[in-house]
Amino acid sequence: MPKPIVLSGIQPTGNLHVGNYLGALQNIVKLQNLGDYQMYYFIADWHSLTGEMTAAERRRQIMITAAELVALGLEPEQLTLFVQSHLPEHTELGWVLSTVTPMALLQRMTQFKDKAEQQTKNINAGLFNYPVLQAADILLYHATLVPVGEDQAQHLEFTNDIVRAFNRRYGDYFAPIKPLFTKTARVMSLLAPEKKMSKSLGADHVLELADEPKAIERKLKRAVTATAGGGKSPGAANLLELLQAFAPAKIYQEFAEAERQGNIRYSELKQALAAAVSDYFSAFRKRRAELLASPRELPEILAQGAERARSVAAKTIAEIRRLVGVR
Ligand code: TRP
């Protein structure tokens, strides 16, 4: 039996933060290490053109994201790690799929509506077509399992609609896909704990994986733990969850117990958490710096990943061309 094919990706939109890690990447590393899947992971740089980054920022963020993924333990020998734009096949399949996509399906996408509200001066057609390219990313490799956060659920349903539309028109070719949602709780902003942690809120709302111990301490000192109206503090709950994720079990249990007893000291919780996070990512910071300092290592890893991806993608495109009658 061939191993099931798992694929996911991430936009190169900034330094990764603990929300990205606990919400998605930790799970990718776990799935990789199980050894039960054939895995693809890619940097969605074509998707990132729908946003606001400059070309220079994009070029830099692609390399930073690649360095961070490798430093986190994505292992190029065990998982095909690549940059989307290194393969023209993604945009080629994207075009074919757009021609079987009913406009009405795209008009239902809530992420487009959200993004259109966020970037009112740049509501581009790429943003509208985003789910088509995402479907192409997945189907190009015949992936059947797609680990993503809940926010991507609608895009995966959309992908299955496209599978049906393509198969109805050109014959049974693509298999339906299944989402693999991660169970981890949503990580919240440090300064606005009612919102999901996100760089777009501001640098001090997030703990970046590359943050130095001093920065981690400073950001956590300022983290909001106060409650509105004396209820349970969402900020404190968030910090406790982070402590559970990053500290030794014993330390977490002490603080969880103090919380139950009602005598927890938030300044101590913040200190313990700062130490735990600094420690947890210390090897990561070192490896990240090494990779970014080496002129050869990352380009070689990404070239090898692209080559492996291409061997599959090119075959799919050849079959697609035959099926639609252009060759
Ligand atoms: N849209 C995803 C995100 O922003 C990134 C992405 C692009 C993706 N193509 C994909 C994820 C294909 C899974 C599969 O997080």
Percentage of the chain modeled with pLDDT above 90? 90
Please list, in sequence order, all residues whose beta carbon lies within 8 angstroms of the beta carbon of residue 130, skipping any fewer than 6 positions away. 47, 50, 109, 111, 112
Alpha-carbon distance of 40 to 141, in angstroms, equals 8
CATH assignment of 5-186+295-324, among 3.40.50.720, 3.40.50.10490, 3.40.50.620, 3.30.70.640: 3.40.50.620
Alpha-carbon distance of 46 to 41, in angstroms, equals 14
C-beta of residue 79 within 8 angstroms of C-beta of residue 40: yes
Tokens for 70? 């490798």
pTM: 0.95
| Res 3 pLDDT > 70 | yes
Q: Give pLDDT, residue 230.
A: 64
Give the number of the atom of ligand 1 that is nearest the alpha carbon of residue 44.
7
Q: Do domains 5-186+295-324 and 199-284 have the same CATH topology?
A: no
Q: What is the pLDDT of residues 216-264, one digit of tens each?
A: 999 999 999 987 666 678 999 999 999 999 999 999 999 999 999 999 9
Please list, in sequence order, all residues whose beta carbon lies within 8 angstroms of the beta carbon of residue 73, skipping any fewer than 6 positions away. 29, 32, 33
CA 120-125-131 angle, to 5 degrees, is 105
The CB of 234 under 6 Å from ligand 1? The reply is no
Q: In whole numbers, what is the pLDDT of the chain averaged over residues?
A: 95
The CB of 5 under 6 Å from ligand 1? The reply is no
For ligand 1, pick from 5, 7, 11 the residue to mutate: most ligand atoms within 8 Å of CB.
Answer: 11
| Res 185 pLDDT > 80 | no
CB atoms within 10 A of CB 281: 24
Percentage of the chain modeled with pLDDT above 70? 98
CATH fold of 199-284 = Tyrosyl-Transfer RNA Synthetase (1.10.240)
Q: What is the H or E stretch that residue 76 is in? A: none
Query: Has 178 been annotated as catalytic?
Result: no
Q: Tell me the domain boundaries of the chain.
A: 5-186+295-324, 199-284
Q: What are phi and psi of 227, to 5 degrees?
A: -110, 145
| Res 151 pLDDT > 90 | no
The CB of 44 under 6 Å from ligand 1? The reply is yes
Output the CA 9–ligand 1 centroid distance in Å.
Answer: 5
Q: Give pLDDT, residue 55.
A: 97
Q: What is the pLDDT of residues 91-113, one digit of tens each?
A: 999 999 999 999 999 999 999 99
| Res 1 pLDDT > 90 | no
Tokens for 163? 């599978």
CA 294 to mean position of chain CA atoms: 25
C-beta of residue 288 within 8 angstroms of C-beta of residue 68: yes
Catalytic residue among 3, 113, 195, 199: 199
State how beta strands 5-10 and 79-83 pair: unpaired
Q: What is the pLDDT of residues 118-148, one digit of tens each?
A: 899 999 999 999 999 999 999 999 999 999 8
| Res 291 pLDDT > 80 | yes
C-beta of residue 82 within 8 angstroms of C-beta of residue 44: no
| Res 181 pLDDT > 90 | no
Which band of pLDDT confidence, cut at 50, 70 and 90, is reported for residue 184?
low
Alpha-carbon distance of 20 to 198, in angstroms, equals 9
Which band of pLDDT confidence, cut at 50, 70 and 90, is reported for residue 182?
confident
Burial class (CB in 10 A: 0-12, 13-18, 19+), 142: middle
Query: Has 115 been annotated as catalytic?
Result: yes
Please list, in sequence order, all residues whose beta carbon lies within 8 angstroms of the beta carbon of residue 59, skipping any fewer than 6 positions away. none
Catalytic residue among 115, 183, 232, 286: 115
Q: Give pLDDT, residue 61.
A: 97
Query: Has 232 been annotated as catalytic?
Result: no
Specify the residue for token string 């002129």.
Answer: 295
